[in-house]
Amino acid sequence: MTEKIDRSFDMELSELGEPDHCFSGSTTDDGIASLDVSQRGTDDDDADGSPGLFAKWIVQQAAATVPHGEEKDEFYYCDEAQVHFTGKRLDGSLFASSREDGVPLTFIIGQDDVMQGFSMAINSMQPGEKAIFTIPSELVGTKSAGCPASIPANIPLDQAVRFDIELISLVTISEIVYNEGILKKTIKHGMGNIKPCGLDEVIVNYNVSLEDGTSVSMSDSVEFNVAKGFFCPAFPIAVKTMREGEEAVLIVKPEYGFGKQGRPSIGNEAAVPPDATLYVYIQLKSYKTVIHIGEGQTIFKKTLRAGEYVGNQGVVRVRLIGKLQDGVVFDQRGHRTDEPFEFVLDEEQVSDGVEEAVLTMQLGEIALFTIAPQYLQDPLVVVPPGSSSVTYEIELVSVVHEKNPRDMSRAEMIETAARKERQADELFRSSKFLRAYRRYYKASAILMARLLEDEIDEEAKQMSVSILFKAAECAIRLRCYQEAKCQCNEILRYDPGNVRARELAQQPFPGDSLGIDTDALYRGLKMPLECKQMKMAELGQKLGQKVYKFTNQKANATYTYHLPQPKVKLGKKMGVMRLMEGHQYSGRKIFVPPMKKPGADVRTDYSPATPATATNNRNNHE
């Protein structure tokens, strides 16, 4: 094994030792380059570090490595790189450098006028990485055959070159409306994976500018409802793609701004000319989730403080305050003493409305609920007559989980499942179909854990079939027909020859009724529908099946799970470049004027999202 060399940009090629990677390039029909990679120390014939090859020597590793394309989503368009570089001929003579004036070079990977080998080199890097490249003469032009490159400048033609490159940042540009209607350049990534939608209320900082940098409107901490929108059509569209804390710059075409009419000046805000492209700095500071839940979607929920996912809820402790429309408190539990109010879920110890509200909550969450009085039949509380609706502020303080089936013995599993089945039968006879369905579901989940053990348990299998039929009947009574079909499909995993289940699964049902909140069937349960069906996929593998499919009608999509196969060693193909993933990118430069962030004298052109070479970009844009 070759001894590792402590490299620097000051070293000659002969001092660098064996390259870490040697590349061979290829081009698709679209003119997009891809790379084959040979790792250091392989037995490839070309991995000898000859100067005429496309080779890479790593000088400094990136602090964190992100695989190519891992963070891309359906809106991915292209990547903007910001680099410091020095370009030399192989004899060591300098022809270009960004370090002479200290201004980094900013460009789009795959941009028409960028040297093809330069784009390919940077595409192999991670932000924070430093590396030395030798690039062969056939890659010193652009991706259009025979066209000389203008980025970097002064590239010598028809000869191999050396580049010392530091990748400062790599910014993703998303096309969140087709045909470049709205482009989004992410300056700072947000937290978590949840994004605002629907009725959610968001708080943003923003600055809207024209192409010449004139600020049209700027505000710090403005709040608006996503469904109702704000300022111009681009705002609600954009925030639906953002995570809390995220900062971005939007490039908005006129049809998503103020169109052909423009907008007159309003107060201290400047006018927007007709057909003007808008440039928007926006930061999603925070947001409150607002949803409708419960039967008929009649319970209104606004999250005041987010919590942490807790999975299967059993015994909960809460603090709650119920108020009438005039603000009079009629229910207060868990506040007057140090001890929160404790109750067992699914045991009818509180009203349906309060229980449904708590089932939507996460540990530590505080939320405000608006509930109609008919859902507040509570043995401990009386709602004054004449109230059209009441509000509850609830904090979920703690949760005690039900015992995990995998921690139970076989006898305990069977007995617990049988007890829940009996309880569900009683609820069914009382026409409490939602509670019955949830209890059947819990019994089924316990038995599934048993069926995923090493041996097939015939008793558990037969119990599961019986319980799943009862759950299907509950779903039909609730007019959740898709859920009924799902239960029948699960029966067919256990018993492929079950005629009754097959007939029921194939029976044409009307569309799902809006009378029941389908999510309520699984709220507070550790294994929601899709998770349970993936577990069924594991069971299917055990029973010899290779592929498992199910349909989520709410998402209008069919999911196919290819069951795990033995791992195979991947070849040396690195795959297509980032720009292949954004193949719809037009190849032009993307201009953004310098803009100030609200409440600060910090211009966005000092961030990775806006080129420091803004003047050069403007000239090319025009």
- Tell me: cis bond preceding 496? Omega within 30 of 0 counts: no
Q: Are 276 and 255 in contact (CB under 8 A)?
A: no
CA atoms within 13 A on the CB side of 595: 30
DSSP string for 129-163: -EEEEEE-GGGSS-SSTTPPP-BSTTPPTTS-EEE
Highest mean pLDDT among 148-162, 247-261, 440-454, 587-601: 247-261
Least confident of 122-126, 172-176, 296-300: 296-300
Give the pLDDT confidence score for residue 295 in this predicted structure: 65
Place of tokens 């430093």: 130
Please name the helix (run of DSSP H) or strand (run of DSSP E) that holds residue 290, with its range, or none. strand 290-293
Strand 366-371 versus strand 130-135 pairing type: unpaired
- Rounded distance, CA 20 to CA 44, Å? 12
One fold for 178-287 and 405-531: no
Give the pLDDT confidence score for residue 257 in this predicted structure: 94
- Fold that domain 291-401 belongs to in CATH: Chitinase A; domain 3 (3.10.50)
Give the residue-averaged pLDDT of 562-566: 35
- pLDDT > 90? residue 264: yes
Mean pLDDT of the chain: 77
- pLDDT > 90? residue 64: no
Closest by CA to 516, choosing from 442, 441, 432, is: 432
Domain locations along the chain: 21-37+51-63+73-171, 178-287, 291-401, 405-531
Give the pLDDT confidence score for residue 31 in this predicted structure: 39
- pLDDT > 70? residue 71: no
Residue 391, strand partner residues:
323, 370
Q: Could you give the C-alpha distances from 132 to 74, 94, 168, 274, 399, in angstroms and in order?
A: 33, 14, 15, 49, 55
For domain 405-531, the question of CATH label 3.90.440.10 is answered with: no
Highest mean pLDDT among 311-315, 427-431, 520-524, 586-590: 427-431
Query: For the domain bounded by 178-287, which CATH number is listed?
Result: 3.10.50.40
Tokens of 372: 């109609």
Least confident of 14-18, 192-196, 406-410: 406-410
Least confident of 310-314, 394-398, 482-486, 574-578: 574-578
Q: Are 113 and 620 in contact (CB under 8 A)?
A: yes
More confident residue, 443 or 543: 443
Give the pLDDT confidence score for residue 145 in this predicted structure: 63
Give the pLDDT confidence score for residue 451 in this predicted structure: 63
Give the pLDDT confidence score for residue 566 in this predicted structure: 34
Give the residue-averaged pLDDT of 37-46: 43
- pLDDT > 80? residue 4: no
- pLDDT > 90? residue 425: yes
| Model pTM score | 0.66
Give the pLDDT confidence score for residue 508 in this predicted structure: 77
More confident residue, 242 or 77: 242
Pick the CATH number of 21-37+51-63+73-171 from 3.10.50.40, 3.30.50.10, 3.90.1010.10, 1.10.1330.10: 3.10.50.40
